[in-house]
Amino acid sequence: MNVIFDDFLVRSLLAGMLMVLVAAPMGCLMVWQRLAFLADTLGHASVLGVALGLMMSLHPIVGVLIVILLIMLIVRQSMGGKPVAMSESVLAIISHTGLAAGILLLSMSGAGNISLEAILFGDLLATSMNDLGFIILTVFILLFLLWKHWPSFVAISVSPEIAQAEGIPVQKIQLILYLMIALLIAVMMKVMGVLLIGAMLVIPVNAARVFSQGPEQMMVISLVLGLLSLFSGMFMSWQYDLQTGPAIVVMASLWLLFALLVKKLNKALT
């Protein structure tokens, strides 16, 4: 019994840590490029991907990946030559429409055994060896792409115009980032839940902005805060018999509030 417990706990912690490891740098890039709302949009629209996958007898991951790639294409087209406010409006429309359409299709398909709660928040504590294997492979691919294109990602985040003048293929690099986000959400949604992934892409990064003074420092602090959110959320879940996904999200928000409070106190003292 202890061996089973240890295996289950190790798998859950390892899956969560891998998610945080890749969510920290990718979340920074999304915030720098003013794409923070994109994570929330993809999370809601992924419900539509699950429903379409089930209706077409495809694996839900395939359906989610197809829907996310279509959204990326729409967002990219909407941002061409238009203000960022317009892209945010498009994201809001896609977010609400995707969630509503996904719920309707799930009910129409007769998938009564599919839990919307499981899709949104996942079940981290039920991570299997197969799930862990897919997550490890996905994180390896994403970390390799981050390592290879990190200078270009940062340059585009600072100024796409200057990056273009320096010879960086801006559209190609942005497309790679979009594909990375799609892969992250499509593969990890089963155990993490689409909302947990979105939250971990945005909340720790915004908390890290309070203390950081540079891109790399912000990424490292975001990683630390993400791990703190994961560990404290899982502890609260285990201690008080709470759902793991929502507990991690709430703890991430509490760490953000703590960071803002520390900044305010430090400013008052100095």
**What pLDDT shows up at residue 171?**
84
The domain 2-193 is placed in CATH, from the list 1.10.1040.10, 1.10.940.10, 1.10.3720.10, 1.10.3470.10, at: 1.10.3470.10
pLDDT in the model for residue 114: 66
Q: Dihedral of the CA atoms 163, 168, 170, 176 (nearest 10)?
A: -130
Domain residue limits, the chain: 2-193
Cα separation values, 21 from 15, 132, 146, Å: 10, 14, 12
According to the model, what pLDDT value does residue 110 have?
65
Identify the pLDDT of residue 46: 83
**Mean pLDDT per 10-residue interval, the chain, length 270 residues:** 59 90 92 80 83 82 83 70 56 85 81 67 82 90 95 90 89 86 80 79 91 88 94 90 87 94 87
pTM of the model: 0.85
| Cα–Cα distance for residue pair 125/238, rounded to 1 Å | 10
Model pLDDT, residue 195: 75
pLDDT of the residue at 27: 92
